[in-house]
Chains A and B, each alone.
Chain A
């Protein structure tokens, strides 16, 4: 075997091995910290709390108990409201940042926009509790201005949970939409103007469809992070209704019912998967 043959064979091997070498740490990480725990959780969800054999009882409990169902309904409602409001607030905000703020100020403006990210999530939630409390800033303003004679209950409600979530997710969506807007070539708008489209028509038929992938990515992230969040509803919602993560945690605290907690978590993941499939399919159509 001559050297030319050797080198001719070695090159493709090296070219093939390199991508695998690069991707192996990520794959290993995912296998170790996602796939294996997920399989264990799936296995646990099919076992009985009292140590018996395989059972579907943990899943049937969810479908048979209206209070458990209600937790899923509450989670979906809150998540849908938060996602919608966050998109509606974040888009114009990102638009102003990308289009109206001079380029040299954009970095500073973006930094200011994401400033609340620098605060701890828990601290931020408790801060909102103080703002929305009976003696908080908002109620003082409302009663002080004479608009209301009595304080309004804002804290410990679904509204408080939504406010806490929206505050966080508007920042996240702003970043994804801003990045998408900045990637758009000015030529699109010029071409639309040349063809006689006004600003509104250009936005509706050119800019909005082209930024939809950014919106959908941000909306999906919002959906996933919101539906699985335990802290915000626990601190701001006042337990006046249960969401799925709270229901999951409730099974663990005293009784240590990990099988039921696992089944509820799998159901929650199934809902997230459906949302992903819906978004992925929709995005694919848009890209086509």
Chain B
């Protein structure tokens, strides 16, 4: 993915844009202070993270080994994360967890620092999850994939026929009507709908949206709810539904001990590959420690802890992750080469198509 040439140069922004950004910053300053409190000493590491990085089991070993405190702030959605950064002072943040496909957005805004490839275990990563088309911009690496998984079909194997879960047709047929939940995030589920009608997720255009919408409406007609992470996970775990569209190991693996009946399939149409990356801020005041943090997360030990985080499990990007045999079995580690071969990339629309996809999703949600 390349930088959008239409993006205005930050140094030549018009006064209205400057005023707008100042207003945003002024209004959010108080909220930010309340939300984050003191961002800590300059020697601390300040990380914008997803919930899986907040697990003390992941952070404490790094803090103890380096004598540093990691201050974290969780966010959901790249837009919300970017807003926090824009409302902060340069240097407030050191590292950020971000959807791999959204790294170019941060680079466009001039937020990220190139990472030294020779100091990162890139050779140990699953080749398919390096996502160089997103993580490398203009020949420089701005992000490294740390965790991945699949938006596919999660299900309770004692309630549904696992053979049915090998085809997405089961999601729109009558057999499981009212037994289905849909994960409430438009990009991966639109990707799944595209796969169901034989489209490639990397080649989606506006012309594909009517057919995708039709497929989504069929899924919605069968669904009991459309829920975010907690709601959809709870619905599957409590038996409210038996199938989760968009689910995968990130739902089932963490619950494996309590509910071993939960499983996921990669149907014949394929699955959508999600991946999250780590990036370092250009204005970080603690770049050495930020790099150490990234190196720790990418190390075999850090990868194992991140993969099995209390918030949600996922596949470690590093093939050498120090997972136990049991953990590997739960994550279906050995099946990854086959899964990756059948998975398609996360849809990465431009801003215009992204907006149109979200509108299609809104129409699907409103459909009765």
Residues of chain B lying within 8 A (CB to CB) of residue A252: 77, 79-80, 83
Q: Would A239 and B184 be within 8 Å (CB), given that A40-B27, A70-B366 are in contact?
A: yes
Residues of chain B lying within 8 A (CB to CB) of residue A162: none
Q: Evaluate contact between B79 and A133: CB separation under 8 angstroms.
A: no
Residues of chain A lying within 8 A (CB to CB) of residue B184: 239
Q: Evaluate contact between A256 and B366: CB separation under 8 angstroms.
A: no
Q: Evaluate contact between B366 and A241: CB separation under 8 angstroms.
A: yes
How far is it, in angstroms, between the C-alpha of A258 and the C-alpha of B24 when the chains are bound? 9
How far is it, in angstroms, between the C-alpha of A44 and the C-alpha of B87 when the chains are bound? 14
Residues of chain A lying within 8 A (CB to CB) of residue B226: 238-240
Q: Evaluate contact between B362 and A247: CB separation under 8 angstroms.
A: yes
Distance in Å: Cβ of B3 to nearest Cβ of chain A: 15
Residues of chain B lying within 8 A (CB to CB) of residue A257: 79, 355
Q: Evaluate contact between A238 and B231: CB separation under 8 angstroms.
A: yes
Q: Which of B17, B23, B30, B78 contacts A256 (CB 8 A)?
A: B78
Q: Which of A49, A134, A240 contacts B240 (CB 8 A)?
A: A134
Residues of chain B lying within 8 A (CB to CB) of residue A135: 238-240
Q: Would A255 and B83 be within 8 Å (CB), given that A47-B20, A239-B226 are in contact?
A: no
Whether, in the assembled complex, A111 has its beta carbon less than 8 Å from a beta carbon of chain B, the answer is: no
Q: Evaluate contact between B239 and A134: CB separation under 8 angstroms.
A: yes
Q: Would A239 and B83 be within 8 Å (CB), given that A40-B24, A134-B239 are in contact?
A: no
Residues of chain A lying within 8 A (CB to CB) of residue B351: 49-50, 255
Number of A residues near B (Cβ < 8 Å) is 43
How far is it, in angstroms, between the C-alpha of A193 and the C-alpha of B235 when the chains are bound? 58
The proximity string for B residues 335-368 relative to A, scoring 1 for CB distances below 8 Å and 0 otherwise, is 0000000000000000100110011001101101
Residues of chain B lying within 8 A (CB to CB) of residue A74: 366
Residues of chain A lying within 8 A (CB to CB) of residue B160: none
Q: Would A241 and B365 be within 8 Å (CB), given that A156-B224, A253-B77 are in contact?
A: yes
Q: Evaluate contact between B78 and A238: CB separation under 8 angstroms.
A: no
| Chain B residue with Cβ nearest A46 | B20
List B228-250 residues whose CB lies under 8 Å from chain A: 228, 231, 234-235, 238-240
The proximity string for A residues 65-105 relative to B, scoring 1 for CB distances below 8 Å and 0 otherwise, is 10110110010000000000000000000000000000000
For the complex with contacts A32-B30, A235-B231, A257-B79, 5 further pairs of A-B residues with Cβ separation under 8 Å are: A33-B30, A134-B240, A240-B365, A254-B77, A258-B24
